Amino acid sequence: MKILIPPSEGKSKIKSTGPLFSDTKYRFEKEVRRIVRLLELIDNEDLKSIYGTSQQKAELFHRQNEDIFKSHCAPAIERYTGVVYEHLNWESLSEKSQQYMEKHVLIFSGLFGMTTPLTLIPNYKLKMNVLSLQYHWNHTITEILKKEDLIFDLLPQVYRKAYAPKSNVIKVEFVVENKGKKTAAGHYGKAVKGRFIRFLAENTVQNINEFKNFEYDGFKWVKDHFVKKINKI
């Protein structure tokens, strides 16, 4: 059983003192090196559109990505910040819950494909939807995930394009219902998603029936997704 979750846009500013990425023998090293070679072909004037920032920041992020094999690493779960990871609150989980996450959780990434929480990665910035990276990773990730008996997919749509789901996949959606109209929870959904991942870990959930009682901030399981009902004019 695996639980698929997204990375965060923000990364922590922890000072990495771990090994160089080139020394970690990363399982998808060959695929990552292909992406780095692709990055090296990008013209300087295209960097702003690739990274969605100012030219100065884009050049900084680009150099960072090109140099990842010479960069020091930290565990992925410590690298990622943002609302989902704040509400997951890895540091306060018991050792048993952390072991559950390391065994079952896979964090998708445009640059690294997918990692476990304790996979060592350097700082980087690269979204899945640039350079068609979701298609770069699709075959590799699909081949790995098709062997699983059950998958809980908590990914945004752009990351779901990075693999071809089979019948073993349950897509866990968080929606907001306002006067009968349902829409994706968006930012509302980030906090509850983090709490939901924490709930899975604390309760060592192994099947869908074991998480139907989860409730947080008005979200409840209804038929096949989590719903929060609001009444806004």
pLDDT at 10: 83
pLDDT tens-digit series, residues 112-171? 999 999 999 999 999 999 999 999 999 999 999 999 999 999 999 999 999 999 899 999
What are 202's two structure tokens?
Answer: 């604390």
pLDDT at 179: 82
Which residues in the chain show pLDDT less than 50?
none
pLDDT at 228: 93
pLDDT at 180: 83
CA distance 107 to 156: 12
pLDDT at 30: 97
3 state DSSP class of 221:
strand
**Residues 23, 27, 30, CA angle at the centre, nearest 5°?**
85
- Where are any strands of DSSP class E within 23-180? 74-75, 105-109, 113-115, 120-121, 151-153, 169-171, 174-178
pTM beyond cutoff 0.85: yes
Give the residue carrying structure tokens 């819950």: 97
% of the chain exceeding 90 in pLDDT: 83
pLDDT at 232: 66
Phi/psi for 47 (5° steps) reads -65, -35
pLDDT at 233: 55
pLDDT at 194: 97
CA distance 76 to 158: 20
Q: Which residues of 135-172 are buried (b: 16+ CB within 10 A; e: fewer)?
A: ebbeebbeebbeeeeebbbbbbeebbbbbeeeeebbeb
- Name, in order, each residue with C-beta under 8 angstroms of 71's C-beta and a sequence gap of 6 or more: 16, 20, 21, 64, 122, 123
CA distance 209 to 6: 23
